[in-house]
Structures are given as structure tokens and as C-alpha cells.
């Protein structure tokens, strides 16, 4: 606990940049001193308690300890200075606090003395008219959750993944919200995984589109490397998606299978459904990756075949041109005594023979598929 008390002394100065998505919390604050808190609410018996908009997290926690219930605090990209007071008030572990502030964390579940720290990667599908080699297909964000006996804290990073609609939906279900912070943790996990399912469905359309274009017989000639660039870009986006999905499977299994004192037994059953949906998404993402590998290899093979066809055509025309080149070379040697030099019909005969030989070679190569 001494490390937590010393946290204020080691924090860096807060960033001066203004914030996005500050919600309805503390609308009277000084714009020059932006707050990371998006919403701060006290819930008792599944119902949000009426509190002033200027309610601070410390005041909310004191109210919960006095009257019961739990507090749900939402933050958006807090600095260490902005998070230090909350970390001290709620007794959060310094390592978890550091991860929550710095972001760019791997999805995980960590247990500390009196809290659970969970990291989710949020995925948002970026709409695009046409997939190109530079298209951004998915955007990622992060939601970190601190789950305690009487508090729940969310720290969100990135422009996507707002939890405001989720909060309102939970408030419309007092029976579920009465289960406490573990009900909120399940709702966020379910919300994130539902987002994965939607992104996987949209990515399926992109993969199908690329596959159709690569294997379409009458698609015409496209610039070399165009398809390969698009496929590789899509593969990179799928890899980003996979880094969000795969590490989360183990935490969801732990939440659904292993009893935890901070997770209500009735809520734990619902984590099984989340884990099942997540496993299905993981299978889809792995299938996307393998299919894109196959499509990329097929595209490279098509490019190699096209190059071989071009080389065959070049070789065929070189063989045809070799005949008049040889004839011209023979008659261009300028020797004084050469047969047929003074023959009246020599020129038309030689030209006719040359044309006939060239036509014969052309017909033979065309019949064999070289032209």
C-alpha cells in the first residue's frame, strides 16, 4: 500500500490537450483543466442514485461505503496525474494503474488483492467503397476494467468503443445491475465480443470479394502487384483482429469456469456464452488468415503463369523474326561471287520463301498455344 500512497509523487504533469467524449460529467469545470472522467454514478439495488453532476469519484465512494451499493466510474484516456487520486482512493495496484494509463496492452485478466484487472481490445470496422493496398479495414481501441467489491472503473483508449449506450441499457435492467460490478464486467465483455462478431461478418465480405476477383476468369488484366498489395493489406488487418481475439479466450474461460469471490455465481454462468462466441470468432479469424494465405499464393502463381505466357509469346515472335533476319544476314555479306545475285527472279523468290516460312512457324506456334 505504500507504493500506492507514493503514486502521486511519481506522476508526470497532465497533458494540456483537450479531450474528446467528456459526456455529461462535470459540465461546470474549467476548460483549461480537462477531466478524464466521462461519467461517475452510484448504483443501489440496480438503480442509479440521483447525485449532483459535480459528484467526484471520492465522494461517490464515500457514499457507497456509507449507504451500500457500488460506484461505476468511466474514464477516457486519463493521464497519470488524473488517475492518481482515483487509484489511491480505490486502492488499485500500481502495476495495473500503469497499464491502464499507458494503454497498448495485450488482452488479459489479472487478479490482485481486492480487485480484478481486465483488458479488452475493441475493434471497429472501417467502411470503405473499395479495398485498396492502403485501405484501413479495422480500428482498434482498448477498454481496461477494474472490478472490486463495491466499485467498477473503466478506462477507455481510442476514439471507438464508447460505453454510454451500454450503461443506459444496463440501467434499464435493474435486476441484472443489482448483481453488482460483476454484471457490468459481463456486459462489457459481451459488448466487446458482439463487436468482434460484427467485424468478422464484415471482413467475410472483404475476403469473399478479394477471392472472387482473384479467381474470376474474365476480370481482365490488372496492374502487376495490385491484387497482391490488397491481399497483403487485408491480411495485416486480419492479423490485427487476431491479436485482439486470441489472447482474450483464456481470460473468458477463467471467468466462466473458475469460481472468483468478486464474480457473482449467477453472472459467471453468462461468461460461458461469451467464451463460446469468442471461440467461434477466433475460428473465423484463423480461417480468414489461412484463406488469405492461399489466395495470396494463388495470386502469385497467377502472376508467374502470366509472366511465363508473356515469355512464350516473346520467344515465339523472336523465332519468327529470326527467319528474315537470317536471310538478310546471308545476302548482306557483300561477297563478289555469290550465287543468285544476278538472277532476275531471285528477290521475289527469296521474299516469298521467307514469308512462307514465317507463316508456317506462326501457324505451328499458334496451334500449340504459344501465340
**Average pLDDT rounded to a whole number, residues 270-278:** 93
Query: What is the pTM (predicted TM-score) of this model?
Result: 0.73
Beta bridge partners of 143: 120, 156
Residue 36 · residue 79 · CB < 8 Å:
yes
How is 119-150 classified by DSSP, letter by letter?
A: EEEEEEE---SS--TT---EEEEEEEEEEESS
Lowest-confidence range among 214-218, 265-269, 353-357? 214-218
The pLDDT score that the predictor gives to residue 133 is 65
Instruction: Give me the CATH topology for the region 2-303.
Output: Beta Polymerase; domain 2 (3.30.460)
> Residue 219 pLDDT > 70, yes or no?
no
Average pLDDT, the chain: 81
Domain 307-367, CATH homologous superfamily name and number? Magnesium transport protein CorA, transmembrane region (1.20.58.340)
The string of pLDDT tens digits covering residues 133-157 is: 667 778 889 999 999 999 999 999 9
Q: Which pLDDT belongs to residue 185? A: 95
Domains 2-303 and 307-367 share a fold: no
What band does 226 get if pLDDT is binned at 50, 70 and 90?
low
- Model confidence at 215, pLDDT cuts 50, 70, 90, reads confident
Please report, for the chain, the start and end positions of each structural domain, with discontinuous segments joined by +.
2-303, 307-367
Of the listed ranges 30-34, 77-81, 299-303, the least confidently predicted one is 30-34
Alpha helices (H) in the chain, listed in sequence order = 2-5, 7-10, 57-67, 80-90, 94-102, 164-171, 174-177, 181-215, 226-245, 249-257, 265-331, 346-367
Amino acid at each position: 500500500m505504500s507504493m500506492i500512497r507514493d503514486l502521486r509523487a511519481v506522476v508526470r504533469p497532465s497533458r494540456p490537450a483537450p479531450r474528446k467524449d467528456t459526456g455529461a460529467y462535470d459540465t461546470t469545470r474549467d476548460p483549461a483543466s480537462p477531466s478524464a472522467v466521462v461519467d461517475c454514478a452510484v448504483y443501489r439495488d440496480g438503480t442509479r442514485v440521483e447525485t449532483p453532476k459535480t459528484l467526484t469519484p471520492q465522494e461517490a465512494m464515500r457514499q457507497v461505503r456509507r449507504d451500500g451499493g457500488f460506484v461505476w466510474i468511466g474514464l477516457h484516456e486519463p493521464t497519470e496525474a488524473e488517475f492518481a487520486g482515483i487509484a489511491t482512493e480505490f486502492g488499485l495496484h500500481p502495476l495495473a494503474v500503469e497499464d491502464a494509463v499507458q494503454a497498448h496492452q495485450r488482452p488479459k485478466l489479472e487478479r490482485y488483492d481486492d480487485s480484478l484487472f481486465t483488458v479488452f481490445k475493441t475493434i471497429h470496422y472501417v467502411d470503405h467503397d473499395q479495398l485498396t493496398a492502403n485501405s484501413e479495414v479495422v480500428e482498434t481501441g482498448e477498454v481496461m476494467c477494474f472490478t472490486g467489491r463495491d466499485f467498477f472503473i473503466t478506462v477507455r483508449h481510442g476514439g471507438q468503443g464508447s460505453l454510454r449506450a451500454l450503461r443506459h441499457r444496463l440501467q434499464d435492467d435493474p435486476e441484472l445491475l443489482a448483481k453488482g460490478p460483476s454484471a457490468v464486467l459481463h456486459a462489457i465483455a459481451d459488448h466487446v465480443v458482439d463487436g468482434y462478431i460484427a467485424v468478422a461478418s464484415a471482413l467475410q465480405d472483404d475476403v469473399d470479394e478479394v477471392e472472387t476477383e482473384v479467381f474470376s476468369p474474365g476480370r481482365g488484366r490488372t496492374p502487376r502487384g495490385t491484387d497482391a498489395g490488397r491481399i497483403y493489406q487485408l491480411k495485416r488487418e486480419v492479423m490485427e483482429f487476431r491479436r485482439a481475439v486470441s489472447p482474450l479466450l483464456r481470460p473468458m474461460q477463467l471467468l466462466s469456469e473458475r469460481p472468483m469471490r468478486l464474480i457473482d455465481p449467477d453472472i459467471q454462468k453468462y461468461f460461458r456464452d461469451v467464451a463460446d462466441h469468442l471461440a467461434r470468432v477466433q475460428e473465423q479469424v484463423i480461417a480468414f488468415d489461412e484463406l488469405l494465405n492461399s489466395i495470396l499464393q494463388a495470386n502469385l502463381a497467377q502472376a508467374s503463369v502470366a509472366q511465363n505466357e508473356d515469355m512464350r509469346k516473346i520467344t515465339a515472335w523472336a523465332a519468327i523474326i529470326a527467319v528474315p533476319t537470317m536471310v538478310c544476314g546471308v545476302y548482306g555479306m557483300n561477297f563478289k561471287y555469290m550465287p543468285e545475285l544476278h538472277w532476275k527472279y531471285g528477290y521475289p523468290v527469296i521474299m516469298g520463301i521467307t514469308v512462307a516460312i514465317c507463316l508456317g512457324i506462326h501457324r505451328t506456334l499458334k496451334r500449340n498455344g504459344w501465340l
